[in-house]
């Protein structure tokens, strides 16, 4: 049932890597996870051993009207994958128009997954602001902002904190919760240590996880594998499992709160 979005004002911070590997860890905790790629780069599939020449996905012209349950691929990890698809820039414009003008398009596409209580949908977003981010922010239960431990993150934080970044198409803040993940931490770098201290102070328990910089992550995607499978003893694998446990705990608490409201 829960819908998670992974986004960041900045590019190259690790959104796609985290969508894939976090989904795998949540799957190992007992959820059925579905990952959806909302980025024209169509890179999420690379973590799941999909052939580079396979351009299928929800955004290709032949699939745009199809129900999404018919378009997902079952990956070797058990995670269900819905790629963006290999599409021309011109056609991607049509998909954006669709999202902008047909207000219920995304909700109807996701509905079959969201009505299943044991299913989590994770959406990988393109960098920065986009109509994809606006449409997803309207529906998401949990919005994960991925930050690097650098000065830019401190500068961009107020835009996220004031509700402007995870805003819906009408500019209203997301209905969901916003939480943070710091990625690519290198404690040998003084600036990384200082920024982490600032973020810990400002965000407290809203900082849901910290992932260290770990070359196994880059090597895993180069081999088209998930890190828990490629390097199960790695620091990255441990950090992502810890993040998944925190996400799982949050979602279970939300679910219990909803059940209490229903009984009352």
Ligand X SMILES: Nc1ncnc2c1ncn2[C@@H]1O[C@H](COP(=O)(O)OP(=O)(O)OP(=O)(O)O)[C@@H](O)[C@H]1O
Nearer to ligand X, 172 or 222 (CB): 222
Q: Which partner, ligand X, Mg ion, none, binds residue 81 by CB below 5 to 8 Å per kind?
A: none
CB of 10 to ligand X, least distance (A): 7
Q: Which partner, ligand X, Mg ion, none, binds residue 78 by CB below 5 to 8 Å per kind?
A: none
Q: DSSP E strands: which ranges in the chain?
A: 3-7, 32-37, 73-74, 80-82, 119-124, 142-147, 177-185, 207-212
DSSP category for residue 141: S
Q: Which partner, Mg ion, ligand X, none, binds residue 138 by CB below 5 to 8 Å per kind?
A: none
Distant-in-sequence, close-in-space partners of 73: CB < 8 Å, separation ≥ 6: 48, 50, 56, 80, 81, 82, 83
Quickly count: other Cβ atoms within 10 Å of residue 204's Cβ: 8
Nearer to ligand X, 126 or 176 (CB): 126
Residue facing Mg ion at closest CB distance: 16
For 40, the token pair is: 């024209």
Give the closest residue to 20 by CA, choosing from 40, 43, 39.
43
Nearer to ligand X, 109 or 213 (CB): 213
DSSP category for residue 229: H
CA distance 234 to 23: 17
Q: According to the binding rule CB under 5 A, does residue 183 interact with Mg ion?
A: no
Q: According to the binding rule CB under 5 A, does residue 75 interact with Mg ion?
A: no
Chain residues that interact with ligand X, rule: CB under 6 A = 11-17, 39, 41, 43, 127, 183-184, 211, 213-214, 217-218, 221, 236
Nearer to ligand X, 42 or 63 (CB): 42
Q: According to the binding rule CB under 5 A, does residue 63 interact with Mg ion?
A: no
Is the distance from CB of 45 to CB of 83 less than 8 angstroms?
Answer: yes
Q: Which partner, ligand X, Mg ion, none, binds residue 67 by CB below 5 to 8 Å per kind?
A: none
CA distance 151 to 146: 14
Q: Which partner, ligand X, Mg ion, none, binds residue 213 by CB below 5 to 8 Å per kind?
A: ligand X
CB of 122 to Mg ion, least distance (A): 13
Is the distance from CB of 21 to CB of 48 less than 8 angstroms?
Answer: no
Among 5, 8, 16, 143, the residue binding Mg ion under the rule CB under 5 A is 16
CB of 217 to ligand X, least distance (A): 4
Q: Which residues bind Mg ion (CB under 5 A)?
A: 15-16
């Amino acid at each position: 049932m829960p819908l998670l979005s992974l986004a960041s004002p900045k590019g190259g911070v690790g959104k796609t890597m985290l969508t894939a590997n976090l989904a795998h860890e949540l799957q190992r905790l007992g959820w059925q996870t579905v990952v959806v790629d909302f980025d024209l780069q169509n890179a999420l599939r690379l973590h799941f051993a999909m052939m580079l020449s396979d351009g299928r996905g929800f955004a290709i012209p032949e699939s745009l009207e199809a129900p999404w349950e018919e378009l997902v691929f079952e990956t070797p990890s058990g995670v269900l994958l819905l790629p963006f698809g290999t599409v021309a820039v011109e056609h991607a414009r049509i998909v954006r128009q669709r999202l902008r003008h047909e207000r219920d398009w995304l909700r109807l596409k996701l509905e079959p997954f969201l009505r299943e209580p044991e299913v989590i949908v994770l959406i990988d977003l393109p960098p920065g602001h986009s109509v994809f981010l606006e449409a997803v922010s309207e529906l998401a239960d949990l919005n994960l902002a991925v930050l690097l431990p650098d000065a830019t993150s401190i500068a961009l934080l107020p835009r996220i904190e004031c509700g402007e970044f995870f805003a819906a198409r009408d500019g209203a803040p997301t209905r969901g919760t916003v939480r943070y993940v710091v990625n690519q931490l290198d404690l040998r770098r003084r600036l990384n240590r200082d920024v982490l201290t600032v973020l810990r102070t400002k965000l407290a328990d809203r900082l849901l996880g910290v992932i260290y910089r770990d070359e196994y992550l880059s090597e895993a995607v180069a081999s088209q594998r998930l890190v828990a499978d490629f390097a199960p003893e790695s620091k990255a694998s441990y950090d992502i499992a810890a993040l998944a446990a925190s996400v799982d705990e949050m979602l279970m608490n939300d679910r219990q709160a909803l059940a209490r409201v229903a009984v009352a």
